[in-house]
């Protein structure tokens, strides 16, 4: 409801701005600025209400186990690797540079960028 009101206020402000420019009327331009300002306040209120609802829903659900054994920890990375996972030296060096592992060099890429390293039996992917 509040989001629709925000969109309606922005559209009304746009219409008033265009009418004010075409008719060369300063009052309509001021009304368009007022509509846009009210829409901005309504949008801020909408974001705050949505954030509170999301926090309340998350508190009602409790911690969600995502199968990684971290309990759905917020410290997980996008790759699904937590900060304590040091099974891969490149990952541990990325997450904790003090772990002692050297970062991978550009020439040590395990997946080549070109298709010349493939065997002759395979077709190129774009044929």
Domain ranges of the chain: 2-60
Residues 56-107 pLDDT 10s: 888 887 766 666 655 554 444 444 545 555 555 555 555 555 555 566 666 6
Residue 76 confidence (pLDDT): 46
Residue 77 confidence (pLDDT): 47
Give the residue-averaged pLDDT of 32-52: 94
Question: Within 13 Å, how many C-alpha atoms sit on residue 105's CB side?
Answer: 2
Residue 112: its H or E element = none
Give the residue-averaged pLDDT of 108-115: 56
pLDDT-based confidence at residue 26 (cuts at 50, 70, 90) = very high
CA distance 113 to 122: 16
Kindly provide the residue ranges of all beta strands, DSSP E only, lying in 9-127, ordered along the sequence: none
């Amino acid at each position: 409801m509040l989001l629709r009101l925000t969109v309606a206020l922005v559209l009304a402000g746009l219409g008033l701005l265009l009418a004010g420019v075409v008719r060369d009327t300063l009052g309509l331009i001021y009304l368009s600025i007022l509509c846009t300002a009210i829409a901005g306040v309504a949008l801020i209120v909408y974001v705050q209400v949505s954030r509170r609802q999301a926090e309340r829903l998350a508190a009602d659900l409790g911690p969600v186990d995502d199968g990684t054994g971290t309990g759905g920890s917020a410290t997980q990375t996008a790759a699904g690797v937590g900060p304590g996972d040091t099974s891969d030296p490149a990952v541990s060096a990325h997450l904790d540079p003090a772990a002692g592992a050297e970062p991978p060099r550009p020439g040590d890429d395990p997946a080549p960028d070109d298709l010349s390293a493939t065997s002759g039996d395979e077709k190129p992917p774009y044929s």
